[in-house]
Amino acid sequence: MKHTLTPQRYLILLAVTLSAPLGDALLTRGMRQIGTVDLHHLGLLWQALFNPYIDAGILLLIGFFASYMTALSWADLTFLMPATAFGYVVLALVSRFWLHEPLSGYRWAGILLIVCAVGFVANGPSLTEHPELNRMDSGAAR
Amino acid sequence: MMVHASDLRAWSSILVVAALAIAGECLIAAAMRRLGDLDDIRARSGLKGAIRAVLTSPVFLAGATCMALNFFALLFTLSAVDLSLAGPASASLTYVGNAVAAKLFLHENVDRRRWMAALCVCVGVYLISK
């Protein structure tokens, strides 16, 4: 296994971690402004597209997908899992401090465990070496 | 111990949601591994070339299809099962299942440190959802 994280790659991991929960929080805030959507009021979905919070949320979720794809091209899935799970921690903290929702003891314990999980893998290697894939790559390069 | 039909249906649908998520994530990870570093592709062929390389990969398309089916399976599950059960149960199963599938199919070196991380995430997600 090798450890190949440059500062730019750490920034991509940060984007993976932050963009999904912040996007979800913005969508929540936007949809609270729009109101409840049901079968008789489907037009509200069209209206939602012109809400700045919804637009920002959609942009962040597109950014999440792009950064996640990029990260998967140079890191193992099991290396990235705690990074994506850290989004739950960000979401809980955003709920507590931005949306002013209460955080129970269980949730603080959950946050602590996910932080531990990130700590377990953060200092380890990011990618498993596959000699046969490397041979294919060097063959393709020739 | 009696197992109710509704419990069986709830857990079956949660398992289907988790299985589709695991299949989707593993297929997408396999596709990205085959393509190689996206930063290099973007440097060689530009952003359009990188997007084209991803979207024309059959393995990626199979993974994306699984993720789309996962979304509809989750909607179906939520129509019958409480979010407080379906959300944490499917997320936790997906994290542990991903670690097993990554070892078996992607041949990742899932060492003790990564197993511990997967278990911590699994329990952590359950506690956060409580």
What are the residue boundaries of the structural domains of chain A, listed by start? 7-141
Residue A4 has pLDDT above 70, yes or no: no
User: What pLDDT score was predicted for residue A71?
Assistant: 92
Mean pLDDT of B95-115: 90
Mean pLDDT over A72-101 rounds to 84
pTM for the predicted model, two decimal places: 0.79
A95: CB partners within 8 A, 6+ apart: A25, A101, A103
The count of domains in chain B is 1
Per-residue pLDDT at B2: 53
ipTM given for this complex: 0.81
Gap between the Cα atoms of A40 and B104, Å rounded = 48
Q: How far apart are CA A87 and CA A24, in angstroms?
A: 10
Q: Identify the top-confidence range among A17-26, A36-45, B21-30.
A: B21-30
> Between chains, do B39 and A77 touch, taking CB under 8 Å as contact?
no
- Name the nearest CA neighbour of A22 among A101, A108, A89, A110: A89
- Residue A30's pLDDT is 85
For chain A, give the mean pLDDT: 81
For the cut 70, the answer to whether the pLDDT of residue A20 exceeds it is yes
Range of the domain at B14: 5-128
Residues of A with CB below 8 A from B26's CB? 77
How far is residue A73's CA from residue A67's CA, in Å, rounded to a whole number? 10
CA distance to A45, A85, B23, B79, B101, per residue, from B74 (Å): 21, 19, 15, 9, 21
Cα–Cα distance, B128 to B100 (Å, whole number): 23
State the best of B127, B129, B130 to mutate against chain A, taking most chain A CBs within 10 Å: B127
The answer to whether A107 and B130 are in contact (CB under 8 A) is yes
Residue range B34-57, pLDDT digits in tens? 998 888 888 888 889 989 999 999
A129 pLDDT higher than 80: no
Q: Which helix (H) or strand (E) holds A119?
A: helix A105-122
